[in-house]
Structure formats: C-alpha cells, structure tokens
C-alpha cells in the first residue's frame, strides 16, 4: 500500500498544478455560467438543465483523460501518432455517411449523430493534427539540423496540413479551417520557418485573398460586408447581422460590473451557450468579468508556452506551440465575432462555451501539455522505463 501512495504522491508532485488549476477554474466557470443561463431562462430553446450537466460530465471526463495522459510520455504518444490520427480521420469520414448531420444556414456537415450522443469530429481532428504535425516537424529536426525549409520537405508539410483542411472544406466548416490554418502557420513559424517562405507568404496572401473572395458564397461575403459597409449592415439588421447586433446589445448591457448572475433584464441570444457566451459574460459580469475571463485564457496560453520553453526536446516544444495556437486563435476569433470586429464563423470560446466534443478535445490538449511538463526530466517515468 505504501508503494501505491508513493507513486500517487510522485505523480501529483510532477503535475503542472498552475496550468491544471487554471483550466479547472475555466471549466467550473463555464458550468456556472450555463447553470445561470438555465436558471434565468435566457434561451430555454437551447439551454436546459441538461446543458450544464453535460458540460460538467464532459469537463470531468476530460480532466480524467488529461491526468491519464500526463502520466504517459508524450514521446510514446508521438510514436503511436497513427492511433489518434486514425480515430479522428475515421470519425471525419463517417460524416459523409447517413450518420452525418447538417446544421446552420450553410448546411455545415459538422456533427456525427450516434443516436445517444452527437460528436463533432473536427474538434478531435485538430488535437490529432497537433500531435502528428509535431511528430513530423520533430522528425525533420532529429539530427539537430532543421530540414523543414528544404523545398521537398516543406511541400510534404503542406500536404500533411491539406488532408484535414480538405476534409473540413468539404464539410463547409469555415471556422475550424481558419483555426487549422492558424495552428499550422504558427507551428511552422515557431519551428524556424525561413524568411524566404515568410516573404513569399506575404506576397501571396493578397492574391489568395482575392481568389478566396471570388470563391466565397453569398452569405460568407455578406458576413464580412456587414462589418465594413453601413448600408449592408442596415439591410441585414434582421438577417445575417442580427445575431452579432444582439450580441453587442447584450455585451454593452452589462456596463462595468454587469447585471448580476440572477435577477437582471437579460437580452435574448440565439447561441448564448456556445458561440455568444462571451456576450453573456458581458451581460452578467460586465467589462470587469469579460476582462477577467480573457485574462484567464491568456494566462493558460502563456503557461502552455512556458511549458514548451522548458521541454526536454523539440517534440515537446512543438506540441506546446500547437496547443497554444489552438487556444489562442479560438479565443481571438470568438471575441472578434461577438464584438463585431470579425465575421461569424462558428468558433467557440475555449473552456467556456458549451460543447462536449470541444471540451473533451481541449482537455486532451491540456493532457499533452501536462505530459510535456511531467516528462521534462529524464529520470521521471510513471509506468515504465523509457529509452532515449
């Protein structure tokens, strides 16, 4: 029995307690927000008692998975990259079967209906991509010489990224495609991307922007035009711009400290529990609450980068860079959506927004970072002896 307690103590001692506590705090706050939404009857069509209970279940399950992953070397997880990649790819391909479920005005193919539960494969594919891309980049740096800038290796890295992005494009999942692009570019940049590619990317970006604009669907163009053209915005006040306009009203209604978590005059929001939860934070907790919520997420992002900086190897650094980019871009894009700085693309606020798949995926990503932290010293191995 003493041996068991010794291993448990050793395991707990090696955990990154600061990161873990911040993530737990964010998940607990999410559950509390969803509970108050149900209590205040803000939007009973989409928020019920099941909403916060399912979020609590997802967060609890995710925490358990994260703790389990922290006990396994990330180097071992990298060696079996094909397992999570295969699972994520299989779930994504199942979307194109009768199990796939279309949602939204664009009929996005985002959800897999398994009867008892619905799963969003793109959330898990993003985490799997971070692991596989980190493994790929680490392989190109295995001899201490970074070969990623060689043209044929760069072409293979781009092909690696194009596989999941191609599937997301077929699913019409614009938001996650943007996140994937951001994660890929940040990982390349932090891995040591040559200035020649950066210049080439800068030159090609305007051209790519024009091409994408001409390929965009009408509703996608309108979502951008309402942000820059007052006439289009006025015409779409009860159309495409309605949700963002309602979000701004809700966000501003809280003032400095908010209306409180109960008893306020709350604005109706269509996606109050996920895409527009930041507007709800503004309603109930005001500018101060929004600021604290963002600061917590920024602290998590900063801690993830800190873990990467003390990693024992290049692979650990790349995993942390990918997880950082995942959390950071989700946060920035969601806040931009709610504040009408950017178009609505269906990106959730990490940890706070309701969603079992996204919550589980975020905690799995946290588990990878905890593994990097726990195995940053060579002498520590929880369950086995690891060979270099």
In the predicted structure, residue 379 carries a pLDDT above the cut 80: no
Question: What is the per-residue pLDDT for 164?
Answer: 92
Question: What is the per-residue pLDDT for 42?
Answer: 85
Contact 349, 269 (CB under 8 A): no
Average the pLDDT over 46-73 and give the result. Answer: 93
Question: What is the per-residue pLDDT for 1?
Answer: 65
Question: What is the per-residue pLDDT for 61?
Answer: 96
pLDDT tens for each residue of 329-369: 999 999 999 999 999 888 999 999 998 999 999 999 999 99
| Residue 191 placed within a domain | yes
Ranked by mean pLDDT, the top range of 156-160, 172-176, 251-255 is 156-160
Question: What is the per-residue pLDDT for 26?
Answer: 97
In the predicted structure, residue 156 carries a pLDDT above the cut 90: yes
Domain hosting 170: range is: 24-374
Question: What is the per-residue pLDDT for 106?
Answer: 53
Question: Tokens standing for 381?
Answer: 């191995």
Question: What is the per-residue pLDDT for 105?
Answer: 55
pLDDT grade for 22, boundaries at 50, 70 and 90: very high
b/e 223-256 (16+ beta carbons within 10 angstroms → b): bebbbeeeebbeebeeebbebbbbbbebbebbee
100 phi, psi to nearest 5 deg: -70, 140
Contact 324, 332 (CB under 8 A): no
| Residue 7 placed within a domain | no
In the predicted structure, residue 158 carries a pLDDT above the cut 80: yes
b/e 175-193 (16+ beta carbons within 10 angstroms → b): bbbbbbebbbbbbbebbeb
Q: How many distinct structural domains can be found in the chain?
A: 1
- The number of residues in the chain equals 388
Q: Which whole-number Å values give the CA distances from 285 to 24, 72, 90, 281, 290, in the listed order?
A: 20, 39, 41, 5, 7
In the predicted structure, residue 238 carries a pLDDT above the cut 90: no
Contact 243, 269 (CB under 8 A): yes
Higher pLDDT, 114 or 327: 327
Q: Which whole-number Å values give the CA distances from 30 to 26, 162, 343, in the listed order?
A: 6, 33, 24
In the predicted structure, residue 385 carries a pLDDT above the cut 60: no
% of the chain with per-residue pLDDT over 90: 56
| Residue 5 placed within a domain | no
3-class DSSP state of 110? strand
| Residue 257 placed within a domain | yes
3-class DSSP state of 48? coil
| Residue 44 placed within a domain | yes
Question: What is the per-residue pLDDT for 380?
Answer: 45
Average the pLDDT over 226-236 and give the result. Answer: 89
Question: Tokens standing for 320?
Answer: 């942390």
Average the pLDDT over 271-300 and give the result. Answer: 94
Question: What is the per-residue pLDDT for 115?
Answer: 78
| Residue 363 placed within a domain | yes
Mean pLDDT for the chain?
89
292 vs 382: CA distance, rounded Å: 36
pTM of the model: 0.91
In the predicted structure, residue 7 carries a pLDDT above the cut 70: no
120 vs 348: CA distance, rounded Å: 12
| Residue 146 placed within a domain | yes
Higher pLDDT, 142 or 307: 307
pLDDT tens for each residue of 111-155: 888 878 888 999 999 999 999 999 999 999 887 778 899 999 999
pLDDT grade for 388, boundaries at 50, 70 and 90: very low
30 vs 247: CA distance, rounded Å: 18
| Residue 366 placed within a domain | yes
């Amino acid at each position: 029995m003493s041996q068991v307690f010794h291993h448990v103590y050793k395991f707990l001692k090696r955990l990154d307690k600061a990161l873990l506590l911040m993530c737990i705090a964010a998940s607990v706050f999410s559950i509390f927000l969803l509970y108050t939404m149900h209590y205040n009857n803000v939007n009973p069509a989409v928020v019920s008692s099941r909403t916060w209970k399912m979020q609590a279940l997802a967060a609890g399950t995710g925490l358990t998975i994260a703790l389990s992953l922290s006990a396994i070397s990330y180097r071992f997880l990298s060696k079996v990259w094909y397992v999570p990649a295969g699972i994520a790819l299989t779930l994504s391909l199942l979307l194109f079967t009768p199990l796939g479920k279309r949602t939204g005005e664009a009929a996005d193919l985002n959800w897999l209906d398994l009867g008892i539960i619905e799963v969003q494969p793109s959330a898990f594919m993003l985490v799997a991509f971070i692991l596989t891309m980190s493994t790929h980049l680490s392989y190109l740096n295995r001899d201490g010489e970074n070969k990623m800038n060689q043209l044929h290796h760069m072409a293979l890295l781009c092909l690696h990224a194009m596989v999941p992005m191609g599937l997301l494009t077929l699913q019409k999942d614009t938001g996650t495609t943007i996140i994937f692009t951001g994660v890929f570019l940040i990982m390349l940049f932090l891995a040591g991307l040559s200035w020649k590619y950066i210049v080439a990317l800068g030159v090609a970006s305007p051209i790519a922007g024009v091409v994408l604009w001409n390929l965009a669907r009408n509703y996608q163009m309108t979502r951008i035009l309402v942000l820059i053209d007052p006439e289009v915005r006025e015409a779409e006040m009860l159309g495409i711009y309605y949700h963002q306009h309602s979000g701004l009203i809700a966000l501003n209604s809280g003032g400095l400290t908010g209306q409180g978590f109960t008893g306020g005059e709350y604005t109706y929001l269509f996606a109050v529990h996920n895409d527009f939860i930041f507007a709800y934070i503004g309603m109930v907790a005001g500018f101060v609450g929004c600021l604290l919520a963002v600061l917590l997420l920024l602290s998590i992002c900063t801690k993830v980068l800190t873990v990467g900086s003390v990693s024992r190897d290049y692979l650990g650094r790349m995993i942390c860079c990918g997880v950082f980019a995942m959390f950071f871009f989700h946060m920035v894009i969601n806040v931009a959506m709610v504040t009408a700085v950017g178009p609505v693309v269906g990106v959730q606020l990490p940890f706070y927004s309701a969603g079992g798949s996204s919550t589980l995926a975020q905690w799995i990503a946290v588990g990878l970072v905890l593994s990097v932290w726990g195995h940053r010293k060579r002498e520590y191995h929880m369950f086995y002896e690891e060979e270099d």
